[in-house]
Structure 1
């Protein structure tokens, strides 16, 4: 296994291994990753269209006007302040949804003929390409261009990869996180801080990007025993987005620092260390059919843990491990709706780095065949999933 080409932290100057490239050259280097990722997602959309036509549903509606996409669209159209009261008395408020995606939806709708819902789809598709590019950049930086291409295509071929083609915030968040981590490993502190701030305005798990910036900065200070203004500015900028929104929600609800947590609690979301998820899996073993589902869930958790362990053995940069660990822990150990967990793991792209590095060592034809098979499975599963329970 090839070791990372650099560890964040030996100088605050631009990394000496960096070489300036003209934009066309940069785009040419990333082109195989972008084309491969686009092909995977196009296959997924074709499968969705065919499946939806067979069952009499609209693929456009599935992509833009169901589940969380409806909440984002309403925020874009009408702002915050709308809620739904359930029969049990709990209140689902749109304050649970971070603002960057709705802001972009409103901006795109304001300068085009598109509705906010369709603008959300455009934003998500563009962000997913930016995410694929960012994943290529990270993989290339750590293990070479072939690994970068494999990482981008693997991410697109995940079973729940269809979410990146929906008017959801996962693609936007992953793009910001990937480029933020790329800036971290290159020691571009101000860029890393700005990207972390934007990620913090996109999803609560933006805290993982903030932590990556802070850990990288702490490691750099420990090695260099000095502090620079770029580093300080990046560290201060990183939490600004999430902090601003959480504090605003607290002021709006009167809940102070814990106002946003109160909003999430009304949605049934919280962090219990995985106790609720463990009970959910255990309950599956009350019937023979359920036991199969329970075994599948347990195997999935074991696979995630093993992939993270492989990343540790692979000696991934510490900030990458920190980011991946936090995203994974929040996904698996939250007490919210369990059907959302695969979607919440989508930004944990560091789990795919060991697989990408391994595929990069295969011959091109063999690797392409494996990725093509995964893409086909992903396309079929995504079409089945969205026409069924979907990603709430």
Structure 2
């Protein structure tokens, strides 16, 4: 329902601004995803370029292969186009990620209130709504990697909480083939496995499996590019993405909140600030360390690097577990308050997603 409202408003805004829903759901990086699923990493259309308007022999390798591989597999079914396969993959993955958000919220609530199953269910439901109505949750219905990554990462994190080490390891491999944000998940699984090292061989195997997807892609691209840091070099050269300890983020916040009059940038700045506050709350409210550490590291991969600042809201979606403190707080409030917040976040998400795709002139 939350995403349906967002899609409906997106179509309306697109019509008012001369853009089709079809094109908006495959905009920007979506074009890369569709081309990689259809053509592979070779023979890509010349119009696909990096942030500087260039395409080299290595440019495409900035994009991880997981999502295009899944889309290609769905595309193999008769009567399904590459575009339909991409949107279907994101829709299914987004639904799976939402269920994972529910499980994580419920798990954290029951850890705090072990005898209150009803409150645990409420916290899980609220967490699912909050995840589905984050400011850029429109990306869960686009030809982008966020939906499938959040599905793998969300379920892997829940498996870690449940101490299902082998499944967590395999899901982390899949997440690592999808986005570099998986380094946060890998770190949590390795730390958790070490903490439970006396529980037999399963934690060790789970930890050993965890980095294989991400590391395998890094090695593959490194060999192709002729440098162990090949993937990072491609990202830096093509999109200006590199570690800077958050200096670019701080400059963006100061400049945006003092002089910028564009709604997209102002909201982005406040989302960054809110994320930092939620990370602090995760530790102050003593959430399970797996949640706090993953949320912190996932956000750090975004906020401590340079790059396109206007895409930060989308890139922060994989750190969705920082929403758990809000879900737990709302679980203790009245039903009226819960519904009011749910409606408000749904409408805000619908507006912002449609604004960024239908009106905002820059890439997201």
Relative to the length of structure 1, the TM-score reads 0.83
Q: Matches of 2:267 and 2:71 in 1, distance apart?
A: 37
Note the 1:138-287 alignment, pairs <5 A.
Answer: 138-143=104-109, 144-221=120-197, 226=198, 228-255=200-227, 257-267=228-238, 268-284=240-256, 287=259
Which of residues 5, 11, 36 in structure 2 aligns to 1:49? 11
- Find the counterpart in structure 1 of residue 272 from structure 2: 301
Identify the residue that residue 28 of structure 2 maps to in structure 1: 67
- Verify: 1:357 aligned to 2:357, yes or no: no
Partner of 1:96: 62
- Range moving further from structure 2, 275-284 or 109-118: 275-284
The answer to which of 366-375 and 131-140 deviates more is 366-375
Q: Look up the match of 1:26.
A: none
CA contact (8 A) 1:147 1:359 kept: yes
**Which shows bigger deviation, 49-58 or 229-238?**
49-58
CA contact (8 A) 1:146 1:360 kept: yes
Aligned length in residues:
347
Please list every run of 5 or more consecutive structure 2 residues that lacks an aligned counterpart in the other structure: 110-119
Deviation of 1:370 after TM superposition, in Å, equals 1.9
| Unaligned 5+ runs, structure 1 | 1-38
Partner SS for 1:315 = coil
Contact 1:282 1:294 in 2 (8 A): no
| 1:112 corresponding residue in structure 2 | 78
Residue equivalent to 2:114 = none
**Cα separation, partners in 2 of 1:293 and 1:166, compared to 1, 3 Å:** closer
Tell me, in whole angstroms, the C-alpha distance in 2 between the residues paired with 1:301 and 1:159.
11
Paired residue for 1:331? 302
Q: What does residue 115 of structure 2 align with?
A: none
Name the counterpart of 1:135.
101
Q: TM-score, normalised by structure 2?
A: 0.89
Change (3 A) 1:378 1:252: same
In 2: Cα distance, 1:365 partner to 1:87 partner: 49
Which whole-Å CA distance do the structure 2 matches of 1:148 and 1:142 have between them? Answer: 9
Which protein has the larger Cα radius of gyration, Structure 1 or Structure 2? 1
Aligned to 2:91, which of 105, 125, 128? 125
**Secondary structure, in 3 states, of the residue corresponding to 1:168?**
coil
Contact 1:77/1:106, CA 8 A, preserved across alignment? yes
Whether contact under 8 Å (2:165, 2:203) holds in the other structure is yes
**What is the CA distance between 1:295 and its match in structure 2?**
7.3
Shift of 1:294: 8.1
User: 2:40 is matched with which residue: 64, 79, 91?
Assistant: 79
State the Cα distance separating 1:236 from its structure 2 match: 0.7
Greater mean deviation of Cα atoms: 78-87 or 263-272: 78-87
Q: Secondary structure at the match of 2:245?
A: coil
Question: What pairs with 1:6-21 in structure 2 (closer than 5 Å)?
Answer: none
- Distance verdict in 2 for CA 1:140–1:112, change over 3 Å: farther
Shift of 1:200: 0.2
Task: State how far apart, in whole Å, the 2-side matches of 1:324 and 1:86 are.
Answer: 28
Change (3 A) 1:84 1:306: closer
CA distance in structure 2 between the partners assigned to 1:244 and 1:294 by the alignment:
35
Q: Is the 8 A contact 2:64 2:217 kept in 1?
A: yes
Q: Is the 8 A contact 2:268 2:310 kept in 1?
A: no
The answer to whether the 8 A contact 2:257-2:269 is kept is no
Shift of 1:362: 1.7
Q: Is the 8 A contact 1:216 1:318 kept in 2?
A: no
Change in Cα spacing, 1:266 to 1:181, as seen in structure 2 (3 Å) is same
Alpha-carbon shift at residue 99 of structure 1 (Å)? 0.6
Contact 2:282-2:322 within 8 A present in 1 as well: yes
State the shift of 1:178 in Å.
Answer: 0.7
Q: 1:17 maps to which residue?
A: none
